[in-house]
Amino acid sequence: MSEITVRAQHRCHGGQLGFYSHESRETGTTMRFGLFLPPAASLPPALYYLAGLECTEETFLIKSGATRLAAELGLALVAPDTSPRGADIAGEEADWDLGTGAGYYVDATAEPWRRHYRMQSYVARELPALIERHFPVRPDRRGIFGHSMGGHGALVVALLEPERWHSLSAFAPIANPVAVPWGIKAFGAYFGDHPPLWRANDASLLMTGRRYPGRILVDQGLADRFIDSQLRPQALEDAARASGQDLTMRRQEGYDHSYWFIQSFIADHLQWHARDLL
């Protein structure tokens, strides 16, 4: 694993949980990721999880409770960081919802972000190639899911290259970023005044004109304080109806935007992916 630096490795539910770093061609920075390998005799499929604003490669693997069930199901879990770090861009650390920890899984085209903030290409291409080259996972079966900003990223990545992703789900995704403050701020910075790029990275607008060939599961908490102002799940449902997309949207009474919500429904999502990947 000459390309990869091992930061930590732990025995976990009979498998191996590791945290790693490598020099990224796409971002031009050192990128970090977490990986759980189940105690399986054969090559497991890899399920990629994209975390939300302010999170790191550790957040999901520590907080979600996913590793126990992934071990039982025989799924590998891959958790990339949420942005480049240390790119030395002016303003990169100024706001919690832009720059560090807030890469939005897009390929920026506007200055000063375009050189380093290439998270879409990193997640969709570079990281899977690295994982499949260095770890015992299947190269022909991949799933993707995420939360909030990461739910947006998972939906867009899979809609843009559906042949590369064989299962898909999301927790409380930013479903219509061109129409909400988080998305307007991020897209304005990363793409500038270029509406076609905004539309090309909005899951609801993408889904209106195209379908992911498989099923999609989305869970949304009804006590989520961001549901109307930032997430707009109805826009995704409207897009699914327009395109005929197979979308299961579950609204969960009493649940908020936290990892307690994710913990509560992570088993459903892992089993959803397992049915399509195994």
Mean pLDDT of 32-41: 92
For 103-125, write each residue's pLDDT tens digit: 999 999 999 999 999 999 999 99
Distance between CA atoms of residues 214 and 145, nearest Å: 13
pTM of the predicted model as reported, rounded to 2 decimal places: 0.98
Q: Which residue has the tokens 């197979």?
A: 246
CATH number of 4-277: 3.40.50.1820
For 168-202, write each residue's pLDDT tens digit: 999 999 999 999 999 999 999 999 999 999 999 99
Q: Is 166 helix (H, G, I), strand (E, B) or coil?
A: coil
Distance between CA atoms of residues 82 and 14, nearest Å: 27
Mean pLDDT of 222-237: 98
Q: What is the pLDDT of residue 42?
A: 82
What DSSP string runs through 88-129?
Answer: --TTTTTBTTBBTTB-TT-B--STTTTTT-BHHHIIIIIHHH
Percent of the chain with pLDDT over 90: 98
Give residue limits of the domains in the chain: 4-277
| Average pLDDT value over all residues in the chain | 97
Q: What is the pLDDT of residue 1?
A: 56
Q: Grade residue 2 by pLDDT with cuts at 50, 70 and 90.
A: low
- Active-site positions read 148, 224, 257
For 124-170, write each residue's pLDDT tens digit: 999 999 999 999 999 999 999 999 999 999 999 999 999 999 999 99
